[in-house]
Structure 1
Amino acid sequence: MAQNKKTVTEKNVKTKAVKKKTGKKKSTAKKVQKLSLKQRFLRFIWSLFWKSSLAVIALMVIAGIYFDKKIERRLDGSAWTLPAQVYARPLVLDTQQSITQSALIKELRLLNYRPVEVVNSPGQFSVKGERVTIFRRAFDFPDTLVSKEKVNVTFVNDQIVTIRDSSANDLQHFRLDPLLLSRLHSSQIEDRVFVPFEKIPDLFIDTLLLMEDRNYYHHQGVSPFAIVRAFIVNFKAGYTVQGGSTLTQQLAKNLFLTQERSLWRKFQEAYIAVLMDHKYSKDRLLEAYLNEVYLAQNGKSGVYGIGLASDFYFARPINELRIEQVALLVAIIKGPSYYNPRRNPERALARRDLVLRMMVENGLINSNDYKYAVSDSLMLSNKYALNHRANPAFISFLHRELREQVPAAVRQTSGMHIFTSIDPVAQQDAEFAVQKGLELVDKDKQKGLQGAMVISDRKDAELLAIVSGRDVKFSGFNRALDANRPIGSLVKPAVYLTALEAGYHLDDRLNDKQIVLKNSTGQRWQPKNYDRKFRGEVSFEEALYRSLNVPTVNLGMQVGLRNVINSLHKMGIKEKIKAYPSLVLGSVSLSPFQVAQMYQPIATQGRYQSLQMIRSISSKQGELLYKRHQNGEQRFSKEAVKQLTDTLHKVTTEGTARSLRWRNPGQSFAGGKTGTTNNLKDSWFVGFDDREVVTTWVGRDDNQSAKLSGSSGALVLFSNYMKQKN
């Protein structure tokens, strides 16, 4: 019994202990359950944080790789596809050279050399009596790099007698830098002049950093201090008055981003800037910025980079800018539209003067420099400074020659330098001669006359100048190259040269009597002289210098039309020519350029060379890529050509071009030939002196009568051109 009670008691105690223990477990479980909810939330937050962090880091890494590759593609090679630069021929000065002092000064002004009292830097010249002092710019020619150099050129009776350098050493030759005529670029290639960092003036760089990014060489692409400062200034003003972007950030935006205003774009800009700053030197990035920055709008083309902007605003290279011009260009960088000096001159002037004040206060210039600089006006070049040199006529010919003569691999080279034979003075004179000459012969303004002129070099068969119409800057139909018109009496020298080659002499007699010819269909052709007279019999020489039709027809039939056609082909005419008797009076149609080619062998003692313009092409690094190799061919006897040119000289003194005696008194011409077509539709003249062959055409685009003979139309334009050479 006692044992049973004890057993019951023990069970009760165990039961209570179990209940107590169970209760503790339940309360602990509740507590654990409560802690688990909190921990789960914290764990969720922590998980979200580190996963997001990993995602952001991964995104940054991926973006970094993407941007890094993009940066490499843009900056490790050539940052831009640069336009081809087209240069005129350089003027080479020689002792005993027959060049007038005024012609040299004209050339220097075309090259934008600045006249000064004392010559002390490149791009300047002075004139004192018969001495011209020139400080030549350095230039990298295909054959050699010429350094900047100062020389004195002395004239006597419009002839160079001495060329001396600054050490008084006599020089036999001196070559000026060539004029940049044009830059060839398409809608896919921005117009730009690349300026390497070492050629950017220190004053320009120091002024830019002073005004735009003083800590440029100390920050890592992004300047937190500048961002905070801009935030405070903008907050106080209530609107955006100051930006916090560094020059590196601006470069990142210009090269890779849009102008969109958003936090995401600003983040990308800052990130790219940091990457670029880590990867490239400060000088390399500053070079890229100064060659990329937008500074103006020139018609449909933007003006990018300080090299092109310097030419656009001041018509001179960046290293020749005066202090006030440096200040203005830096001022424009702040806001090219807002501080446009042509549209907003007062605003631009105020900003320029602020830059000048900052320059003197920070020791970049002295007080005297500041005084003179701030007193100057804006002194901008002509609005169309970038456009006035190029002429669509020779540019279109250049494109044709590039396609036909230059390998495709060379044509595709970025930033190549094309050196041509174009004479900028001759080109300017030819443009003036065509415009003013057409005004003289079209006084009533009712004829709607147009004109064209092609000027070539006698010795080297190079194109010196080309004009395709009254509006010399019009880029449409190129009359000089593509206007195929009957050439009239210009064909006659080919007939007479054929005869001279066959053994005829200048004193041989030719019939000048009425003749009637029939063609294969029985049609009758009765040629007449221009004056409607017949002389019975005339000498070979007189028939040519008086441009008589009937004797020429008789001569052409005697020597054979096929032989005349063969001579025309030997003179450079490639088109098929039909053997009609009217051929010898000029029924064949040619362009002014083809006529110039036809007369080239006459002017070069019977030697044929194709007229060309491109001399050589080099890369932007100076490597020679292409050089013209032209071997002339003697196609006619020198004696026959001499007799012909002697007679063509008489054309200018006794024949159809004798008006040149009073139009151009004191000038002598080696030869010339007028050409007039039926119903006075086309007026032609080809004349040459000891250096140039000048081919001129006057007519109407609608093929109506110009009411002008060769001597009353085209010869007037030739005369105007030659007057400017005096």
Structure 2
Amino acid sequence: MKKLKPYLILLAALSCLVILFAGIWTYQLNSRIQEGLEQKKFLPPTEYYAAPVEFSAKLVTTSKSELVSVLKLRGYRSRDWNQRLFPGDFAEASREVCQNSVPPILPEGVTSCLLLAVKETADPELSKLALQMAAFDSQDQLAAAFSGNPLQEATKIALEPELFAQYLDQQPIMQNYTPLGEIPTQCLNAVLAIEDSQFLEHSGFSFPGIARALLSNVTGGKVKQGGSTITQQMVKNYFLTSERTLKRKATELVMSVLLETHSSKDQILETYLNIIYLGQNGPFQIRGFGAAAQYYFNKPLEQLELPECAMLAAVLNSPGLYDPFLKTENAIKRRSLVLDRMQTLKMISSEDAEKAKSATLPTRQSYSVNETAPYYINAANKEIIKMGLDPLGLKVFTGLSLVEQQAAQQAIRGHLDQLEAHNKKVKKIKESGKTLEGLLVSAHNQSGLISAIVGGRSYRLTQFNRATDGHRQVGSIMKPFVYLTALIDSGKNGKVYDPLTPLNDIPFSYRFDGQKWSPENYGRKYFGQVPMYFALKNSLNSATAQLGLEVGIPRVIETAKSLGIESPLSPVPSVTLGAFELYPLEVLKAYVALARMGNSIPISTLRAITNEKGLTLYESHPEGQQVVSEVATAELISMMKQTVRSGTAQGVSLSGFTTPAAGKTGTTSDYKDAWFSGITPEQSTLVWIGYDDPTSNSLTGASGAVPAWISFMKKAPLSQVQNDFSWPESVELRPMEVDEENKVLHFELAFPK
């Protein structure tokens, strides 16, 4: 016994140490859980919302059937007129019923109306327009709009903005937090049946589950099955990694028990169902049942039925393996397994199970803004940070148009692929390992809101946002500022300028700072004496440079600055031809001002920002400022319209694009950059094509940028508006008939009255 005593003492000491270390380890894990719960609980993602979907009687024609179709697609519910409307409801009625029920006096010709209650939204603008009414004529076309409570005449019908992206810790996710009480019982039962039928009974882990996992792992020779309860899965997702080691498993077991001492079963299940990974939408992780319901079924979680609940429970185990879009056979088998398990546990009847098994799988939705929308989000975050705000947890309401963003993506990618496949020089450069890049940025002229941004062909390949950070030579994009300066200064110093003023387009040289500058026309082709509009539409370097020197380089720079150009411009002759770098957003802002007849307005991605408490931190109320003469700008626009009719961008009119448009192409020296900035009365869009390094690509603005602009603008909803530019009353449009190389052209130019 005396011999055993030292060993017993040693054993006791070791046992005390083990208990001590176990206690310390458990305490540390407990602290980790407490800290994690506090941090995670109050760490909401940043949410990004697209622009409201709008219908205007004055711009784009909208039929009643189109509006009803959109409402139903967005989950609105049709009600009888005499029923109370809740958010997300609409009702139709005749003119007589409408007139007797609502305050506004309906315009003549209105034969029916549609009353709708907009879905609840944190959007500061839309929250004021909860009740809206659309009035239709005898052809069922939208004739008038009303909004507010009481209803008052409005310019448009506006539906709640769609959530298009969420970020948490700079990681793109899609998540829609849903309280446990709003999750359908069928969905709860489906998850419990297939994942953890003993969830309400165990204290964090299941001995039978662990036994099954150990048996599987021993027979398999490696750790391949976890036997995890829902609590353990939550611990793994919330606090740990997904590595499969015995140490991590032991930590998971202890933390699961500790978690159940800190949280109720309802809290654990609610959190689990809102954070669990359920798939991938491009670069965005689908997190939680709320986001998964929208992604897979395009409907709110609370509207899901048994087959859909079973499908989500099936996907949960392995989203890649049971993806209903890509792995349909696997998805059907796993869904059947979920339904069989629910039937075994008497959660559903055999009839319900068989009926659910026969339900069709969902199909992928058409919208896919995920590949390049990150460029838009990147631009929005830059603005938010510039305001001194931290994006974390904010609700960001943007000017993004889902339709335009998709069109922009397709336009840039499609055109770049086309050039690399069929343009000999670009194809050869592609074979050497270089990738052709591009950008597109577009804004609505009335609001200044940026509706689409593509900052490169793939955000996955490069996160450099060319639309916001690209600083490139702009070439002939600068020329309109030269002509505008001349038109503004017309009459000063006895020199009059108008669209027909003759300019000399001949070779010339100019000495500056001891150097000789001799600009050349494209192809070294000169036209002698030509009118101003002809020199601009054909982008003649010689005529433009001489005009710039005549009106004065400092005055040209002053005009550019007044329109929104902020980059430094050196007072050298080559500034007239754009031999300097600008940011794309500077150019866009300047061209928006031109489209607004010299009235400048801030351009932005942001409509409003609220915090997690619903407090409005920012709301856009842009005000325009007349920065240059509207008469001179109108003259310039009439000249720029000829660029797209018969000048360097005539591909626009030849393509069948009929919306009134004006613009200017740009090609830099050695063909390194191809630009086109085109404007319509409603929208301004800028396109650039080139390489990130100064590689010559043989592309001009006409061949490199114009085709992408056409592709985008043909799909932009505002291109349906056929109204001409809003010409000032102080100008007159004079018809012209000109014979150019035996081709008679008919057009109009603007002149001061």
1:424 paired with 2:387, answer no
1:180 is matched with which residue? 163
Contact 1:98 1:159 in 2 (8 A): no
1:388 paired with 2:366, answer no
Contact 2:293 2:299 in 1 (8 A): yes
1:578 is matched with which residue? 570
Residues 63 and 377 from structure 1, CA distance in 2 versus in 1: closer, same or farther, beyond 3 angstroms? same
Contact 2:510 2:518 in 1 (8 A): yes
State the distance in 2 between where 1:55 and 1:703 align: 67
Contact 1:220 1:274 in 2 (8 A): no
3-state DSSP of counterpart to 2:41: coil
Residues 124 and 374 from structure 1, CA distance in 2 versus in 1: closer, same or farther, beyond 3 angstroms? farther
Contact 2:369 2:406 in 1 (8 A): no
Residues 76 and 491 from structure 1, CA distance in 2 versus in 1: closer, same or farther, beyond 3 angstroms? closer
State the distance in 1 between where 2:462 and 2:713 align: 26
Deviations 1:521-562 (A, max 9, x none): 1525265577723443x4444443454444433322222111
Residues 613 and 526 from structure 1, CA distance in 2 versus in 1: closer, same or farther, beyond 3 angstroms? closer
State the distance in 2 between where 1:302 and 1:489 align: 43
Residues 596 and 343 from structure 1, CA distance in 2 versus in 1: closer, same or farther, beyond 3 angstroms? closer
State the distance in 1 between where 2:461 and 2:687 align: 18
Alignment of structure 1 residues 187-226 onto 2, 5 Å: 192-214=175-197, 216-217=199-200, 219=201, 221=203
Contact 1:221 1:246 in 2 (8 A): no
Contact 1:113 1:125 in 2 (8 A): no
Contact 2:367 2:402 in 1 (8 A): no
2:630 equivalent among 630, 638, 641: 638
1:444 paired with 2:422, answer yes
Using the TM superposition, give the Cα deviation of residue 256 of structure 1 relative to its aligned residue in structure 2, in angstroms: 4.5
Alignment of structure 1 residues 668-679 onto 2, 5 Å: 668-678=659-669
Contact 1:512 1:535 in 2 (8 A): yes
1:663 is matched with which residue? 655
1:690 is matched with which residue? 681
State the distance in 2 between where 1:638 and 1:474 align: 44
State the distance in 1 between where 2:581 and 2:140 align: 42
Residues 261 and 474 from structure 1, CA distance in 2 versus in 1: closer, same or farther, beyond 3 angstroms? closer
Using the TM superposition, give the Cα deviation of residue 695 of structure 1 relative to its aligned residue in structure 2, in angstroms: 1.6
Residue type of the partner of 2:570? K
Residue type of the partner of 1:161? A
Unaligned runs of 5+ in 1: 1-36
State the distance in 1 between where 2:11 and 2:702 align: 93
2:640 equivalent among 639, 648, 657: 648
3-state DSSP of counterpart to 1:139: coil
Contact 1:101 1:155 in 2 (8 A): no
How many positions carry a matched residue from both structures? 672
State the distance in 2 between where 1:562 and 1:243 align: 73
1:456 is matched with which residue? 443
1:465 equivalent among 439, 452, 457: 452
State the distance in 2 between where 1:472 and 1:687 align: 25
2:433 is matched with which residue? none
Using the TM superposition, give the Cα deviation of residue 691 of structure 1 relative to its aligned residue in structure 2, in angstroms: 1.0
2:123 equivalent among 129, 141, 155: 141
State the distance in 2 between where 1:253 and 1:544 align: 65
State the distance in 2 between where 1:610 and 1:620 align: 27
1:604 is matched with which residue? 596
1:27 is matched with which residue? none
2:230 equivalent among 207, 230, 247: 247
Residues 719 and 287 from structure 1, CA distance in 2 versus in 1: closer, same or farther, beyond 3 angstroms? same
Contact 1:323 1:373 in 2 (8 A): yes
Contact 1:142 1:622 in 2 (8 A): no
State the distance in 1 between where 2:708 and 2:239 align: 53
Aligned-residue RMSD, C-alpha? 5.2
1:160 paired with 2:142, answer yes
Residue type of the partner of 1:91? V
State the distance in 1 between where 2:438 and 2:482 align: 26
1:98 paired with 2:63, answer no
Alignment of structure 1 residues 274-293 onto 2, 5 Å: 275-293=258-276
Contact 1:249 1:269 in 2 (8 A): yes
Contact 1:416 1:620 in 2 (8 A): yes
State the distance in 2 between where 1:141 and 1:272 align: 40
State the distance in 2 between where 1:157 and 1:581 align: 59
Contact 1:295 1:303 in 2 (8 A): yes
1:714 is matched with which residue? 705
Contact 2:503 2:532 in 1 (8 A): no
Calculate percent identity across the aligned residue pairs. 29
Residue type of the partner of 1:98? V
Using the TM superposition, give the Cα deviation of residue 285 of structure 1 relative to its aligned residue in structure 2, in angstroms: 2.0
Using the TM superposition, give the Cα deviation of residue 512 of structure 1 relative to its aligned residue in structure 2, in angstroms: 1.4
Residues 243 and 186 from structure 1, CA distance in 2 versus in 1: closer, same or farther, beyond 3 angstroms? closer
1:74 is matched with which residue? 36
1:406 paired with 2:368, answer no
1:306 paired with 2:293, answer no
State the distance in 2 between where 1:211 and 1:85 align: 32
State the distance in 1 between where 2:281 and 2:60 align: 40
1:28 is matched with which residue? none
1:20 is matched with which residue? none
State the distance in 2 between where 1:309 and 1:385 align: 15
Residue type of the partner of 1:180? L
Residues 388 and 263 from structure 1, CA distance in 2 versus in 1: closer, same or farther, beyond 3 angstroms? closer
Residues 476 and 278 from structure 1, CA distance in 2 versus in 1: closer, same or farther, beyond 3 angstroms? closer
Residue type of the partner of 1:523? K
